[in-house]
A and B are shown apart, each in its own frame.
Chain A
Amino acid sequence: MSRRVFKFRLYVAGDAQNSVDAIANLTTICRKYLPGLYDIEVMDVFLEPARALTDGIFMTPTLVKLAPAPVRRIIGNLSRTSLVLQALGLEGSAA
């Protein structure tokens, strides 16, 4: 079974608690369920507000799964792992 590489972009708001938590949670999930098959780009909206505007990011943190298709948006600090896995189409791997 060929494993696809997951491309993520995580929009964070500086070192706000939710953002810090989101980075940690995402890393944990990826390490566990997508070892070696993930690519995370962290974007700080405070540093690149224009980008956040064009991407329509108003609630932080927001995780965007760019690949594989379809593109998915997940809002929040990703503390609810089962919801995240479901959104990423990884629920089967949870076991």
Chain B
Amino acid sequence: MKNPTKAPTGIAGLDEMTDGGLPRGRTTLLVGGAGSGKTILALQFLVHGAQACKEPGIFVSFEETPKRIVANAAGFGWKLGELQRKRLFFLDAQPLPDSIQAGNFDLSGMLAVLEAKSGKLQARRIVFDALDIVLALLPDAAAIRREMYRLHSWLLAHELTGLITLKSDASAVSQPFGFMQFMVDCAVILNHSVVLGVSQRNMRVQKYRGSGFHENESPFLIGKNGFDVAGARTVGRVGAKAVNERVSTGVKRLDTMLGGGYYRASSVLITGFAGTAKTTLSGAFAEAACRRGERTVFISFDSDANEVIRNLASVGIRLDRYVRNGCLRMVSAGSIVGSAETYLVGIKAMVKEHRARCLVIDPVSALSKAGNELTAHGVAERLIDWSKAGGTTLVCTRLLDETSGQFEGNSSLQVSTLADTWIHLNYLVQAGERNRGLSIIKSRGTAHSNQVRELVLSSAGVTLADAYTAGGEVLMGALRWQKENAERHANEITEVAGKHKRVMLDAEAAELEVRIKSLQVELLAKQVEMTLLTRSAESRKGELSHGRSRMRELRGADPALRGRK
């Protein structure tokens, strides 16, 4: 974002809005009511120049002593003491209270002093804080105009990047204010209002000659390190690359429904009425993240962090060990108070500090509570953009009001359109029972199940039950159990019948085998009988012939006759 014609303020959001910073070598007007943060912004502009841009600066103070300004800014960690030695000069130009005014005067004296000082310091930036104080001493509008021109042309001649702050409600300024806006090249307006008891600060770039800028009001905070401006949208989006990696939801069967889990760096919204296990589902996600060793921040607006841990332990989600080993940071949001903007800044700071990859906000609807209705949507938008740009996977829950119906139509916080995945939990009343149903309303870039599933919580953990449908309705609770039981019963019957059949067949086979055996034995006997029969016949024949020759021998018959029969 380096641009030679811009002098960066070091306030990320403002530099975004102005596309790089204030006009270099030109004059910018900063207008705001009392306590709107003009002095801090102006000082931060100088500090950033001196620290990061090698641009020494001069702070001309008309309203407060430099000592007080330095003391007031001590909390921001800007090392003003160190800077003051070389790169930052405070000029106490408060009009002396006891001086008498007798006739026209001008600011040449101050410019002469500044000229000498800026030459010595090689100053590139200069702030005139609360110029209205000195303008009020001038006798008429013409004199004011003359002195403004004198100052402006002096700044231009020295190519100093000037920042003039004015109180918007100072009566001395109201009339020449208009002409001053024409004179300067850039005008920024700070606005501080209280809506339903919640402080809301806004910043708006009113004009910027020769440069594009974001014209909308942008909320800001005065935080730990000075200004924190919400900044324009879109800018953070550039460079955030789409990731294909999946992260587990903590519920195995939900992962399957989503085709592998949530996308990393996506934003997930879990909606539901009170008690539909939104916290449980987000807790499961946190536990899974910690199990993977990913640092996680869990922000609970509704209840105390320890209570959340205890409650989740009852459904088998054990977060305490991850809190102990430092992987998980549980935050009770009572520790953040103020506007939605404050929450966002607080959340950002915590995630950054914890180096978290996963973030749970339970519920995000807390952002839109009284006084924040108008800003909550913008904050949520930026929260999602920001987490996406940083690669943080965001799971937030949102409580639906049972009385106002299922959709958040009239609410300012329409996260559902922004979230990548929207899981809706509700109670299904069926056959005198109330059961938790889970459905995935949308999940960008994922083929996901369209079925309403029953969410079952038990001490063993969270899971989704098998889906049974009957007559076009998903069965849950006892009905599902009945169906499951009937199915089991039927299975058993078939199984028993099969077994019975097998036994019968076995018996038949055995019987056949026995018969085969006895036949074989019978056959063998017959064969033996047959051989015996043959043998006895032969022996009888042999006996017969043998007997005849013996007889012949006995009779002394002629052997020659032996041949004849």
A residues in contact (CB < 8 Å) with B: 11, 13-14, 16, 18-19, 21-22, 25, 45-46, 49-50, 52-53, 56-62, 72-80, 83-84, 86-87
Contacts and interface: CB of A to CB of B under 8 A. Distances in A.
B179 interface: no
B503 interface: no
Which of B98, B116, B134 counts the most A-chain CB atoms under 10 A from its CB?
Answer: B116
A58 B116 CA distance: 13
A65 to B, nearest CB: 10
Interface stretch (B40-48, B102-110, B236-244, B266-274): B102-110
A58 B102 contact: no
A87 B91 CA distance: 27
Nearest to A63: B102
A63 B109 CA distance: 12
B106 A16 contact: yes
Given A49-B115, A53-B116, A18 B102 contact: no
Interface in B80-133: 91-93, 95-96, 98-113, 115-117
Contact of B134 (A11, A13, A50, A59): A59
A56 B96 contact: yes
Interface of B: 91-93, 95-96, 98-113, 115-117, 134, 137
A73 B110 CA distance: 16
Given A50-B116, A56-B96, A76 B103 contact: yes
B108 A76 contact: no
Given A56-B92, A73-B96, A73-B98, A13 B103 contact: no
Chain A contact surface mostly: mixed
A16 to B, nearest CB: 5
Given A59-B95, A73-B99, A75-B99, A53 B113 contact: yes
A14 B117 contact: no
Given A13-B108, A19-B108, A77-B105, 4 more contacts: A49-B116, A60-B109, A75-B95, A79-B102
Given A49-B115, A49-B116, A56-B92, A83 B100 contact: yes
A7 B352 CA distance: 65
A68 to B, nearest CB: 17
A62 B102 contact: no
B95 A45 contact: no
A71 to B, nearest CB: 9
A73 B100 contact: yes
Contacts of B92: 56
Contact of A84 (B102, B112, B137): B102
B102 A59 contact: no
A87 B108 CA distance: 23
Contact of B103 (A16, A73, A78): A78
6 contacts: A18-B103, A46-B112, A77-B102, A77-B104, A78-B102, A83-B101
B115 A76 contact: no
Nearest to B116: A49
Contacts of A16: 106, 108
Contact of B93 (A18, A58, A78): A58
A46 B112 CA distance: 5
B109 A59 contact: yes
B104 A79 contact: yes
A87 B100 CA distance: 7
A72 B93 CA distance: 18
Which of A52, A56, A58, A78 counts the most B-chain CB atoms under 10 A from its CB?
Answer: A58
Given A13-B109, A62-B109, A21 B103 contact: yes
Nearest to B112: A45
A45 B93 CA distance: 15
